[in-house]
Chain A
Amino acid sequence: MNNKNMKWAGLVLAGLMLIGLLSGCGSSKETLNIYSWADNFDEEVLKQFEQEFDVKVNYDVFANNEDLLAKIKAGGGGYDLIQPSDYMVATMIKQDLLAPLDMNHIPNFANVSEAYKDPSYDPGNKYSIVYTSGVTGIAYNTKYVKDEIDSWEDLWNPEYKGKVILLDDNREVIGMALKKAGHSNSSTDEGEITAAVDDLKSLLPSVLAFDTDNIKQKMIQEEGWIATVWSGDASYIAQDNPDVAYVVPKEGGTIWSDNYAIPKDSKHKELAEKFINFMLDPEVSAKNYESIGYSDPNTKATEFHSEEYRNDKMINLSEDELSRTEWLGDVGDKLQLYDRFWTELKSGR
């Protein structure tokens, strides 16, 4: 680098830093900082909110609940609205990371289906309101799987050797094996857990891969024949590959939800609550969920939804299917045991 280049580099540097600083404090409008999964909102709905309330919405993304927790816990903040899943809401409440919601600002909470009010992970909805939800069941390709599938036991069928895909999540998979044995998916009984893990070890040779994010592609492309899949993802798969069917096994499955919650150090708490209220408006929510293709817990929104959306059996699960589900509960320090067994399973040791 010669003298001229040095100067040039210095100039560029100064310029870029200036841009960085300026963009950091650009508008004087109040800002709502959302931290959520990618593509979790309809863009137009967000714009509508910005216009109606004359505010700016910042939308940043995380990739999984654990990343979110580690970041919030280590003080990575500045966010006003986050979307943790059910068990993560419970954990965050226990760790005192969430601010209680002021329901006076959220009258539209009345629109939420009774089935999702007062959940076990947040009794009385003090800290969270459900955003969307689904159930872990079995997705299978009817081209290759000819038998009737109605039990977790079917994953163990030797005919599907090398074609089984499991979620890459210790609680989901060990919970599934526990359910298969007739226990709670959140058992803290060491004997029950050990037996379930031994059972899973016998399934290992059949497993093609562990995957959470790309299970959809693997099923659409028929790399796998049968898999543990979330209902919402099953709907996504079936749209691209109509041969894929979905069932909630007779032993029951794990139900999950993503929620609205407000971190304790939020500087725009009231605005965040107004946002939740806005999203729970029947018309707004119909538009939003129609666009993102997830289940809508808003009972008043049903009339605004399209025929196609209402008829999707994988988005709107039946009462019967929902009655067989169980939330993942907190297992306390037994989480260490789950983690250890999981490491054993995945490393094949």
Chain B
Amino acid sequence: MKKSGLSMLPVLLWLCLFLVVPMLIVVGISFMGRDDLGNVVLDFNLDAYALFFDPLYLGIYWDTIVLSVLTTALCLLLSYPLAYYIANAGPRMQTWGLVLITVPFWINFLIRTYAWVLLLRTQGVVNELLLGMGLISEPLQMLYTKGAVLLGMVYTFIPFMVLPIYVALEQMDKKLLEAANDLGATRWRSFWHITLPQTKSGIMTGSVLVYVSTTGMFVVTDILGGAKSAMISNIIQSQYLGARNWPFGSALSVIFVITSLILIALFNRAMTSRYQKVREVRS
């Protein structure tokens, strides 16, 4: 088994060539200037980074973080019980559960999102249903709101939460639960003290995947939010494309990547220390 440290080599080489080198180009561009045509020119400066501290862009980044945290929390609340149910079903049901959750997401993202437009718009099915049942007297404007964006985000990233939590739950040592049960622990207590700590790694992974994916998503805000709010990735996108300001786009990306890494590390630390505390108490 000692050799397997070496098996990192192919991955390392791959990432160096196709990730580190291109990223260095991006970091380089972020320190350069641009001419009127939007061409990147060699002229070392920090203007692009200074521009980020404009309240306009800081505010947008803040909004992005808030929405992403909300999406992650909602995803977690909705997905954990689902993953729990699947992990505790028979093996055949487990397969079907996983497949049934993933396959819808093989349908193109745009198509799925437009399907939500059909459901939510003023003449859409949801409104007709509510009107028909007499719950509302006038169609609700559900589309092009922050709520619609949140719904679209949660919907898009559910599998990213369910799968890692399932992976963690499935390998849990169930004897512990039985022991707790024998000792007279209530369901809730054994969940809180045994199941939850044992599946921390799954929660961690799922949360990071959902959080990061949400911050990077911009099409949902355009389609379900009516393009009325901007996410940091909308801004990065428009700097590279419409505004033709590659240095600013690159600087935003660098800041974005670094802050995300820091947030992940902090989250990681918070989760692990709690986990260890619980462990100590247990032993």
Q: Please give the residue numbers on chain A whose beta carbons come within 8 Å of chain B beta carbons, in ascending order.
A: 64, 66-67, 69-70, 91, 94-95, 162, 168, 170, 207-211, 214, 217, 221-223, 332-333, 335-336, 339-340, 342-344, 346-349
Contacts and interface: CB of A to CB of B under 8 A. Distances in A.
A91 B226 contact: no
Contact of A346 (B55, B59, B114, B228): B228
A349 B56 contact: yes
A18 B239 CA distance: 39
Given A91-B37, A162-B141, A207-B228, A343 B235 contact: yes
B144 A209 contact: yes
23 contacts: A70-B240, A70-B241, A94-B37, A162-B141, A170-B242, A208-B144, A209-B226, A210-B226, A210-B228, A211-B226, A214-B114, A221-B121, A222-B123, A223-B143, A335-B38, A339-B238, A340-B56, A343-B60, A344-B56, A346-B228, A348-B229, A349-B55, A349-B60
Contact of B229 (A67, A170, A208, A347): A347
A87 to B, nearest CB: 11
A223 B226 CA distance: 12
B148 to A, nearest CB: 11
B228 A339 contact: no
Given A94-B37, A210-B227, A347-B229, A336 B60 contact: no
B36 A333 contact: yes
A67 B242 CA distance: 9
Contact of A66 (B143, B222, B241): B241
B243 A346 contact: no
Contacts of B243: 335-336, 339
B39 interface: yes
A209 B241 CA distance: 21
B124 to A, nearest CB: 9
Given A95-B37, A221-B121, A333-B36, A348 B228 contact: yes
B28 to A, nearest CB: 15
Contacts of A221: 121, 123
Contacts of A209: 143-144, 226-228
A66 B242 contact: yes
B168 interface: no
B271 to A, nearest CB: 31
Contacts of A210: 226-228
Contact of A347 (B59, B144, B223): B59
Contacts, number: 79
A346 B37 contact: no
Interface in B186-242: 222-223, 226-230, 235, 238-242
Given A210-B226, A343-B57, 10 more contacts: A69-B244, A70-B241, A209-B144, A221-B121, A223-B123, A339-B238, A339-B239, A339-B243, A339-B245, A344-B56
A146 B109 CA distance: 39
Contacts of B229: 346-348
A346 B244 contact: no
B128 interface: no
B122 interface: yes
Interface string B61-75: 001000000000000
B212 to A, nearest CB: 21
Interface of B: 36-39, 55-57, 59-60, 63, 114, 117, 121-123, 141, 143-144, 222-223, 226-230, 235, 238-245
A223 B117 CA distance: 11
Given A70-B240, A94-B37, A336-B245, A346 B227 contact: yes
Contacts of B117: 214, 217
Contacts of A348: 228-229
Contacts of B121: 221, 223
Contact of B60 (A217, A222, A342, A347): A347
B52 to A, nearest CB: 13
A168 B55 CA distance: 23
A340 to B, nearest CB: 7
A221 B60 CA distance: 32
B63 A347 contact: yes
Nearest to A331: B36
A340 B230 CA distance: 12
B227 A211 contact: yes
Contacts of A208: 144, 226
Contacts of B36: 332-333
Nearest to A162: B141
A66 B122 CA distance: 32
A208 B122 CA distance: 12
B192 to A, nearest CB: 37
Nearest to B235: A343
Given A95-B39, A209-B228, A223-B122, A343 B241 contact: no
A348 B59 CA distance: 11
Nearest to B241: A66
A338 B144 CA distance: 24
Nearest to A347: B230
B37 A347 contact: no
Contacts of B59: 347, 349
B248 to A, nearest CB: 9
A339 B60 contact: no
A343 B240 contact: no
Nearest to A332: B36
A207 B241 CA distance: 24
